[in-house]
DNA sequence: AAGTCGTGGGG
DNA sequence: TCCCCAAGACT
């Protein structure tokens, strides 16, 4: 094995790190200070599963109301498996990362069919479920089934970076692997779920990204970064690229109190969400923009429109894109056969469909316009 | 490995 | 205002 190095060394905890004391002190703090969260009422695997999917890249406060509504509508794996996809998407509207909703339902159907409705309890089986990656697998296995598996999220990487003075870039996948190895050595048998949650709770409440509350930290004594006074400089994380600007022309096409909407493809950005028809443009001339819009609606919906007036501009920023939308009110001139992805819907009934936030902003623009006139 | 995939809160 | 970022997964 030429060039192969011993992999154990970088995954070994420092000799001076007192594992038992750390885990014990952290759990004692967690037992008395943990927040009362809706998904901590019990350890039902399905409840834990839904919460972990919702919490991916999403704040606790934001998730709370969505979680309550979702569990009421889809209280069991079976209920979620049998539900129409549109209802699941509607329950997810506004949460973002909508593929989570589709993957969750697809996985629920898989669990129903393959595992009799019981969420699998082994790393091998649970990892096959759509939307369940390394973190979520460890979270479900430890919290719901008390398996000794790490659940390394952004909180845990920050906590461990400071605790052990790790200078690895936490944006790199290899760093998560390394920290998983380290965490695994520290998980107390019998309290794996609480321990993983305690690490995350510490990251969320005390060992926060900016201005960590070291003076009230239950594991202050174990923290190498604090001893060196560098806790504010950790973790190391590469900077994200700025979002790329995109210029879009949006058509609000009215016909007898109805408006034309379009369902986006089931893959890619905002998959399966409804929208007002829009087309990307590069040109700067106003007339050319309207021509592009006319041509696009003719090609895609076999509809002839007339652009009436500009309703204004709307901006919406995603992680990687910045949509600069120019919104035009349009008249429906002719066309009677819409493609299956398009519909003409009464304005009062738009709420039935699931729209991303970018299009709710357009609806607000329409509302402002009608309020003025 | 690096890009794709949402949204809202807080410093 | 701007920028970071929050219980990540998928390609």
Nucleotide nearest to A132 in CA–C1' terms = C9
State how far the Cα of A336 lies from the Cα of A237, in Å rounded to an integer: 54
Q: Looking at residue A20, what is its pLDDT?
A: 85
- Catalytic: A52? yes
Q: Looking at residue A3, what is its pLDDT?
A: 32
Nucleotide nearest to A319 in CA–C1' terms = B6
Answer yes or no: are the C-beta atoms of A326 and A254 closer than 8 Å.
no
Answer yes or no: are the C-beta atoms of A247 and A282 closer than 8 Å.
yes
Whether the CB of A104 is less than 7 Å away from nucleic strand C comes out as no
Q: Which nucleotides of B are covered by protein (CB under 7 A)?
A: 1-11
Per-residue pLDDT of chain A (373 residues; tens, 9 = 90+): 333 333 445 688 998 888 789 999 999 999 999 999 999 999 999 999 999 999 999 999 999 999 999 999 999 999 999 999 999 999 999 999 999 999 999 999 999 999 999 999 999 999 999 999 999 999 999 999 999 999 999 999 999 999 999 999 999 999 999 999 999 999 999 999 999 999 999 999 999 999 999 999 999 999 999 999 999 999 999 999 999 999 999 999 999 999 999 999 999 999 999 999 999 998 777 778 999 999 999 999 999 999 999 999 999 999 999 999 999 999 999 988 999 999 999 999 999 999 999 999 999 998 887 777 7
CA of A269 to C1' of B6 (A): 9
Answer yes or no: are the C-beta atoms of A322 and A241 closer than 8 Å.
no
Whether the CB of A180 is less than 7 Å away from nucleic strand C comes out as no
Q: Which nucleotides of C are covered by protein (CB under 7 A)?
A: 3-10
* CATH number, domain A14-233: 1.10.340.30
Q: Looking at residue A7, what is its pLDDT?
A: 42
Segments making up each domain of chain A, as ranges: 14-233, 244-372
The residue from A52, A93, A149, A180 that is catalytic is: A52
Pick from A214, A208, A224: nearest CA to A60: A208
Strand C proximal residues, A:253-282, Cβ < 7 Å: none
Nucleotide nearest to A241 in CA–C1' terms = B3
* Amino acid whose CA is nearest the C1' of B9: A59
Fold of domain A244-372: Nucleoside Triphosphate Pyrophosphohydrolase (3.90.79)
Nucleotide nearest to A239 in CA–C1' terms = C4
Residue A148: helix, strand or coil by DSSP? coil
Any long-range contacts for A175-178 (C-beta under 8 Å, 24+ apart)?
A176/A134, A176/A152, A178/A10, A178/A11
Q: What is the DSSP letter of A210?
A: S
């Amino acid at each position: 094995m030429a060039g192969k190095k011993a992999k154990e060394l970088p995954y070994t905890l420092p000799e001076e790190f007192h594992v038992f004391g750390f885990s014990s002190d952290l759990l004692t703090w967690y037992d008395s200070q943990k927040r009362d969260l809706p998904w901590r009422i019990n350890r039902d695997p399905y409840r834990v599963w839904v919460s972990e999917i919702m919490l991916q890249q999403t704040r606790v406060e934001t998730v709370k109301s969505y979680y309550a509504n979702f569990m009421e509508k889809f209280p069991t794996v079976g209920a979620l498996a049998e539900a129409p996809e549109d209802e699941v998407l509607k329950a997810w509207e506004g949460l973002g990362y909508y593929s989570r909703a589709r993957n969750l339902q697809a996985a629920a159907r898989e669990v129903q069919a393959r595992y009799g409705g019981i969420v699998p309890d082994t790393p091998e089986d649970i990892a096959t479920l759509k939307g369940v990656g390394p973190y979520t697998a460890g979270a479900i296995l430890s919290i719901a089934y008390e398996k000794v598996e790490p659940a390394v999220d952004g909180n845990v990487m920050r906590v461990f970076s400071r605790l052990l003075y790790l200078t690895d870039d936490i944006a790199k996948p290899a760093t998560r692997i390394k920290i998983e190895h380290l965490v695994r050595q520290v998980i107390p048998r019998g309290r794996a779920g609480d321990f993983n949650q305690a690490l995350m709770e510490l990251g969320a409440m005390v060992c926060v990204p900016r201005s960590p509350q070291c003076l009230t930290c239950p594991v202050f004594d174990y923290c190498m970064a604090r001893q060196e006074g560098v806790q504010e400089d950790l973790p190391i994380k590469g900077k994200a690229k700025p979002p790329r600007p995109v210029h879009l022309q949006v058509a609000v096409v009215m016909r007898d109190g109805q408006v034309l909407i379009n369902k986006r493809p089931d893959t890619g950005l905002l998959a399966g969400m409804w929208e007002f028809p829009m087309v990307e443009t590069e040109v700067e001339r106003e007339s050319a923009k309207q021509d592009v819009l006319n041509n696009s609606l003719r090609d895609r919906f076999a509809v002839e429109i007339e652009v009436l007036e500009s309703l204004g501009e709307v901006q919406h920023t995603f992680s990687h894109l910045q949509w600069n939308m120019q919104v035009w009110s349009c008249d429906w001139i002719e066309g009677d056969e819409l493609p299956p992805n398009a519909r003409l819907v009464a304005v009062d009934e738009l709420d039935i469909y699931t729209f991303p936030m970018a299009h709710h902003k357009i609806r607000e623009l329409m509302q402002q316009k009608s309020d003025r006139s």
